[in-house]
């Protein structure tokens, strides 16, 4: 037998040596602390992060699978849900659960509506949901997992918001759910939730608002005086909302919320098994074991920051975002796509290769996500970015000039990969390519 290259050591490694090795291993990770990474990490302050670590560690070994064994975690979860409901203009009828992240929240919503529809629309054997093309891929993952057909409708080409009329036209006798985003990941725009709510009410179906990214930012942005379209339970047709505490709620990963307007919908989220020899088993979400640390840290984050803390952070972020958006729009050949409502946006160009621009920025230490349709560079602003806005804009202007003076020089890197992926008309081939690429990433070298 050929043994793998990494096997369990015969004897355990000393703590001092183990931690030293881990320090060495992580040296190639992106250094987000210098502000040059525009995704993946949501950081309020160093002091806040240290508090989160203490709160997380205090409940490190506890398991929220049993609210009876650990009433502390039950209290934390109930209060996180209550604070979120209040933030999203819900009332005492609203309810929900905590999950590990936005994807699990979205999966739970799809499972819930599928089972709710079995009760409300027993004639429907092949349930469907209608969503804008900009909605997060987690909805398609949920469609695969729970056998609910996903029908994506192109967004409006000028606003990049959900095309309400097109979504209504896509409704058929099997439709159980509409989806809108607040805000969407690609452009940072909020879909016309009020109009979608009217349609959902007219047809008697659900409307889920994906607020995973913007849920813990938009209410504070609105309080600061910015124009924020209605997106929460203040819209009568909204029946559920997902929102991540570990994003702009500045909690520890992974912590999200899935909220419902009415308990009779929420009950369909639960999985119950009564005939197992191990006893009665009930679970409110995808997971069995539910790490207590993330739940405790979410509660601690919200209690520690409070309304004023979140408002202060939102102001720092929005001031930086406004400066970035204005600065990017002032650079010849670049422009912001759509009208972002908060601190998430993307920019592109009709004149230069933005993926090549991204490659050159990578070489200067900046990390911007690549998105497509059209090709663009993506940014999510955090408080720690406020100090480096001027530096970034200076580097961006200089790098645009380099691309203009030396066009078409990119032959490798992300520009080549993303350019190829975006240009292939056969999307199944793209899927195969990406799967093979990811498989290669996780092979033992």
Q: How far is CA 88 from CA 145, 235, 245, in A?
A: 28, 10, 13
Token pair, residue 11, equals: 């004897």
CB 399 within 8 A of CB 58: no
Question: Helices 138-146 and 102-120: crossing angle, nearest 10°?
Answer: 40
Domain ranges of the chain: 55-302
Is the peptide bond prior to 254 cis by the omega test (within 30 degrees of 0)?
yes
- pLDDT tens digits, residue range 99-115? 999 999 999 999 999 99
Confidence of residue 442 (pLDDT cuts 50, 70, 90): low
Which has the higher per-residue pLDDT, 91 or 29? Answer: 91
- pLDDT tens digits, residue range 174-192? 999 999 999 999 999 999 9
Helix, strand and coil in the chain, % to nearest 5 = 45, 15, 40
- Rg of the chain on CA atoms, in Å: 23
SS3 241: strand
Q: What is the pLDDT of residue 423?
A: 53
Tell me: pLDDT of 2 over 90. Answer: no
Tell me: pLDDT of 408 over 70. Answer: no
- pLDDT tens digits, residue range 80-94? 999 999 999 999 999
Question: Would you identify the CATH topology of the domain 55-302?
Answer: 3.40.640
Q: Give the least confident one: 165-169, 209-213, 421-425.
A: 421-425
- pLDDT tens digits, residue range 47-66? 999 999 999 999 999 888 88
The answer for 365, left when phi > 0, alpha when psi is -120 to 50, beta otherwise, is left
Q: What is the pLDDT of residue 416?
A: 47
Q: What is the pTM of this model?
A: 0.90
87 Cβ neighbours under 8 A, 6+ residues apart: 215, 216, 219
Can you say whether the dihedral through the CA atoms of 133, 135, 141, 146 is positive or negative? Answer: negative
- pLDDT tens digits, residue range 248-293? 999 999 999 999 999 999 999 998 888 889 888 888 888 888 899 9
Closest CA to 191 of 133, 109, 257: 133
């Amino acid at each position: 037998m050929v043994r793998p290259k990494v096997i369990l050591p015969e004897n355990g490694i000393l703590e001092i040596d183990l931690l030293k090795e881990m320090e060495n291993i992580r040296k190639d990770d992106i250094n987000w602390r210098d502000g040059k990474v525009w995704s993946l990490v949501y950081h309020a302050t160093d002091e806040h992060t240290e508090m989160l670590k203490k709160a997380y560690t205090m409940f490190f070994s506890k398991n929220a699978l049993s609210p009876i064994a650990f009433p502390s975690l039950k209290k934390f979860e109930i209060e996180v849900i209550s604070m979120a409901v209040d933030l999203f203009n819900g009332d005492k009828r609203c309810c929900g659960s905590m999950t590990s992240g936005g994807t699990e929240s979205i999966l739970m919503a799809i499972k819930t509506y599928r089972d709710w529809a079995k009760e409300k629309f027993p004639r429907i054997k092949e349930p469907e949901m209608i969503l804008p093309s900009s909605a997060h891929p987690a909805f398609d993952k949920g469609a695969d997992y729970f056998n609910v057909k996903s029908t994506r409708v192109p967004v409006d080409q000028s606003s990049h918001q959900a095309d309400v009329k097109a979504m209504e036209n896509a409704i058929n006798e099997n439709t159980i759910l509409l989806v809108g985003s607040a805000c969407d990941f690609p452009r940072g725009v909020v879909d016309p939730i009020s109009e979608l709510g009217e349609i959902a009410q007219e047809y008697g179906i659900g409307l889920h608002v994906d607020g995973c990214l913007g849920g813990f930012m938009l209410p504070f942005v609105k309080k600061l005086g910015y124009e924020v379209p209605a997106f929460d339970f203040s819209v009568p047709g909204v029946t559920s909302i997902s929102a991540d505490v570990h994003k702009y709620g500045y909690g520890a990963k992974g912590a999200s919320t899935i909220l419902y307007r009415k308990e009779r919908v929420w009950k369909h989220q639960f999985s119950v098994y009564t005939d197992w020899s191990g006893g009665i088993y009930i679970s409110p979400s995808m997971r069995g074991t539910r790490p207590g640390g993330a739940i405790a840290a979410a509660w601690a984050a919200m209690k520690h920051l409070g309304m004023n803390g979140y408002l202060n952070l939102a102001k720092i972020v929005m001031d930086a975002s406004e400066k970035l958006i204005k600065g990017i729009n002032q650079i010849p050949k670049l422009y912001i796509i759509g009208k972002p409502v908060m601190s998430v946006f993307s920019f592109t160009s009709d004149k230069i290769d933005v993926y090549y621009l991204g490659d050159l920025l990578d070489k200067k230490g900046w990390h911007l996500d690549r998105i497509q349709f059209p090709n663009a560079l993506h940014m999510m602003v955090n408080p720690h970015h406020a100090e480096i806005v001027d530096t970034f804009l200076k580097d961006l202007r200089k790098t645009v000039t380099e691309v203009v003076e030396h066009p078409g020089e990119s032959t490798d890197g992300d520009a080549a990969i993303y350019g190829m992926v975006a240009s292939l008309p056969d999307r199944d081939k793209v899927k195969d390519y990406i799967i093979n690429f990811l498989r290669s990433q996780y092979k033992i070298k």
